Amino acid sequence: MLRSYRTMVIIICSVFAVFLLSGCTEDVTAGNTVTEVGTFPAVHIELALPIHRQIWGNAMVTIHNAPDEFFRIPARIRGRGNSSWERFDKQPFRIRFFQPVEMPDSGHAALDWTFIANHSDKSLLRNYSAYYLANMLDGMYFAPYARFVDVYFNGEYQGVFMLSIQVQPGDGRAELTYSRNPATSEYLIEMNQRIASDPRSMEGRTFVTVDSRHFDILYPRGSDLTVAHVDYVRDFLTRVAELIHEQDDAVFDYIHLPSFTDFYIVQELYKNLDVGHASVFMQIRGQGAERRLEMGPVWDFDVSAGNAYFQGRNREDAPEREYYPYYYSPHGLWAAWTNHWFRSLMHNQRFFDAVAARWLEIRDAEVHAMMNRIRYMSTRYHAAFERNFDRWPIMGEFVWPNPDRVVEIDTFQGQVDYLLEWLEIRIEGFGDFLDAGLLPGEE
């Protein structure tokens, strides 16, 4: 079902330029169009108490300016995120309905939905465009849904948020099958170095440590996750890690090559800061000889594509805001350095060749469509995005972890132009690197 949906998205994107040039006023994302050109659906949330990071509160949710409007549906609400919750005034949150609800253009109903603030990304388009690209790639079974909405708390405008999924199994998301037999059950896993400090988690019970990284088992959970399941995940990932680092082609009997290549390309293209330590999702799927570790979904790109002052190798004696021009710039490799698996895989000739071939397949169609999508969204919804910065006047101010150039740009359009320029240089440089056949360390 999801792969068919992705095929439809690619077809839509192939005609996108025609719509844009003809001045079409419709939103060409999959699903229905908004009811008014240049405006986002309005999500009104009634709250009795402020949102808490850990404790669920009561809420009533109403949606206007969308094809499928609804009025005062009861829900629970709480904060979400790590640094984005702790550092920023505009904070992300999560809503859980009591019955599945279909959000605008989502194509499926679900209990849980996330509202991503994108506060440090002054273009507001890094997460959206990365998810847009991932949805056009068919190597990953599952890619995130993303839709911009205007959010109101008790009638007060809170800004533009990106409505997205909660990464978990369910309709239209990761369709996984549970079994009491660990060798036939399927799994959703996140590489997450932060999980060891979470008091709700326990090594050997909810997460495992393999190759000096922590892997949180998101599915199955609770009483369904037995010690035998945990041991199976540890053993499976250990075997994968061993073969990756040995650069043994037997690893391709354990990993799903199309998802690994697509996942790597999206991460490398955006130089996603988190790819080495968190928000790296994967699934153990399939049965028998078809059982593989699949990468995805991609997640969390607000600190990417030139929006980090420390995208380099930190030294203990380095000033807090010192950045490293080579690594911070759109040149050079990132995911192949900071992610220990991709560092070894990019030295495996079969994997390198698969990445190079895949890049040639998608560069002029899907990647080009993603760049056009940024231009389209920033033009059509310019006033809606500008309104966000009337509510949160952060242009010209440092918001962690903005580099100096992002701080200096004091307009929304300037932020978009900077993102496009950064990606254009990155696209050209990444292609040159692959064309030259250079391995990490040789670029």
pLDDT averaged per 10 residues in sequence order, the chain, 443 residues: 44 38 36 56 96 94 89 95 80 95 87 95 98 96 92 98 85 81 97 90 94 96 96 98 97 98 97 92 96 96 89 44 52 88 95 96 97 98 98 95 92 98 94 75 59
- 231 and 182 in contact (C-beta within 8 Å)? yes
Between CA 393 and CA 346 the distance in angstroms is 42
Q: What is the pLDDT of residue 315?
A: 42
Q: What is the pLDDT of residue 384?
A: 97
Q: Is the preceding peptide bond at 144 cis, omega within 30 degrees of 0?
A: no
Question: Between 368-380 and 2-14, two packed helices, what is the crossing angle to 10 degrees?
Answer: 70
Three-state secondary structure call for residue 146: strand
Residue type, 354: A
Ranges assigned E (strand) in 167-313: 187-191, 207-210, 213-219, 280-285, 292-295
The total of other beta-carbon atoms located within 10 Å of residue 437's CB is 11
Q: Is the preceding peptide bond at 297 cis, omega within 30 degrees of 0?
A: yes
- 92 and 115 in contact (C-beta within 8 Å)? yes
Domain ranges of the chain: 2-165
C-alpha to C-alpha distances, 346 to 95, 314, 326, 336, 435, nearest whole angstrom: 39, 23, 20, 7, 14
Q: What is the pLDDT of residue 9?
A: 44
Question: Between 412-435 and 257-270, two packed helices, what is the crossing angle to 10 degrees?
Answer: 130
Q: What is the pLDDT of residue 246?
A: 96
Between CA 133 and CA 343 the distance in angstroms is 23
Structure tokens at 429: 């440089």
Between CA 303 and CA 9 the distance in angstroms is 26
Q: Give the CB-side neighbour count of residue 316, counting CA atoms within 13 A.
A: 0
Q: What is the pLDDT of residue 25?
A: 36
Q: What is the pLDDT of residue 172?
A: 57
